[in-house]
Structure 1
Amino acid sequence: MALKYKLETDIEIKAPADKFYNIFRSQMHLIPNVSSDKIQGVQVHEGDWETMGSVKHWNYTLDGNALSLKETVEAIDVENKSITYNTVDGEVMKHYKSLKCGVQVSAKDEGSLVKWIIEYEKLNEKIPAPDAYLDLAAKVTKDVEAHLVKA
Structure 2
Amino acid sequence: TLSIGYLTMMICSRHNIVSVAICFVITAVCCGTIVIFAMQTKYDLTSMIGYVFIFAMVLLIFGLVAIMSMIFFKIKFLYLIYAGLAALLFMLYLAIDVQMIMGGRELEISPEDHILAAIQVFIDIIYIFWMLLSLFLDN
What's the TM-score once normalised by structure 2's chain length?
Answer: 0.35
Higher strand share: 1
| Higher alpha-carbon Rg | 2
What's the TM-score once normalised by structure 1's chain length?
Answer: 0.33
